[in-house]
């Protein structure tokens, strides 16, 4: 007997949400529509799918699964908390068929999104609602906390520890064994060779702190 996955609703109808729609179609998931708080998108149709309402209206679709397609980790956490305050939404985990990921070797948290070309080796742990974008690589024994965002082409070496709400920019690299504290961010093209403190923005090669970010 075959089983059919529930219809999917994507939170966020622009930007990364468009790429998640592409991913959902590659997986054969039926996209019922989008939810978005942008008033300019009310009643719109995006990639053939309707914008069904604001995010808070998820409770009108209890039969569906949801995925939060918002790249910014801090906003993504806020949206998940907003939804959770109204009930218990079922969050989908999406893995592109062109990703290299063996689920016997990678522990993957609920609500995470793994895009095409992402590569994982072994003994890796990801928390909930992580995003690993196109052609990023995650090395052996790496640990990613909740709401981590890895941008396209980023390279996370073995035994790296990325705390909750860390963001690693496009083509950035993190050296083996390095730890990034909660809410820290490595800018695009940055090369991080030393541990990063919480809530700091680092740029350059080698990466150095540019400024302090707001506390979580």
* Cα–Cα distance, 152 to 134 (Å, whole number): 5
Kindly state the helix (H) or strand (E) to which residue 76 belongs, with its residue range.
helix 73-84
Does the annotation flag 158 for ligand binding? no
* Cα–Cα distance, 42 to 36 (Å, whole number): 8
Question: What is the chain's percent helix, strand, coil content, to nearest 5?
Answer: 15, 30, 55
- What is the number of other CB atoms lying within 10 angstroms of the CB of residue 150? 30
Kindly state the helix (H) or strand (E) to which residue 63 belongs, with its residue range.
none
Is 61 known to be catalytic? no
Among the listed residues 21, 61, 129, 140, the single catalytic one is 140
Strand, coil or helix: 64: coil
The β-bridge relationship of strands 49-53 and 45-46 is antiparallel
* Cα–Cα distance, 42 to 52 (Å, whole number): 8
> 9 with 61: CB under 8 angstroms?
yes
> 98 with 119: CB under 8 angstroms?
no
The token pair at 54 is 């604001």
Question: Known binding site for substrate: residues?
Answer: 71
Active-site residue list = 140
Question: Known binding site: residues?
Answer: 71
């Amino acid at each position: 007997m075959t089983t059919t996955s529930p219809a999917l609703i994507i939170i966020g109808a622009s930007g990364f949400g468009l790429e998640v729609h592409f991913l959902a179609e590659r997986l054969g998931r039926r996209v019922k529509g989008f939810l978005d708080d942008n008033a300019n998108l009310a009643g719109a149709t995006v990639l053939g799918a309707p914008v069904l309402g604001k995010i808070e209206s998820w409770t009108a679709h209890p039969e569906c699964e949801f995925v939060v397609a918002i790249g910014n980790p801090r906003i993504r956490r806020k949206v998940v908390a907003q939804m959770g305050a109204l009930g218990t939404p079922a969050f989908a985990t999406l893995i592109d068929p062109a990703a290299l990921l063996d689920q016997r070797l990678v522990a993957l948290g609920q609500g995470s999104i793994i895009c095409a070309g992402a590569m994982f080796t072994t003994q890796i742990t990801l928390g909930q609602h992580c995003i690993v974008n196109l052609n990023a690589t995650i090395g052996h024994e790496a640990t990613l906390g909740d709401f981590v965002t890895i941008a396209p082409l980023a390279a996370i070496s073995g035994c790296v520890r990325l705390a909750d709400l860390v963001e690693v920019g496009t083509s950035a690299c993190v050296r083996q064994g390095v730890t990034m504290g909660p809410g820290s961010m490595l800018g695009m093209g940055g090369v991080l060779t030393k541990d990063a403190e919480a809530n700091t923005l680092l740029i350059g090669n080698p990466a150095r702190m540019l400024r302090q970010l707001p506390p979580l």
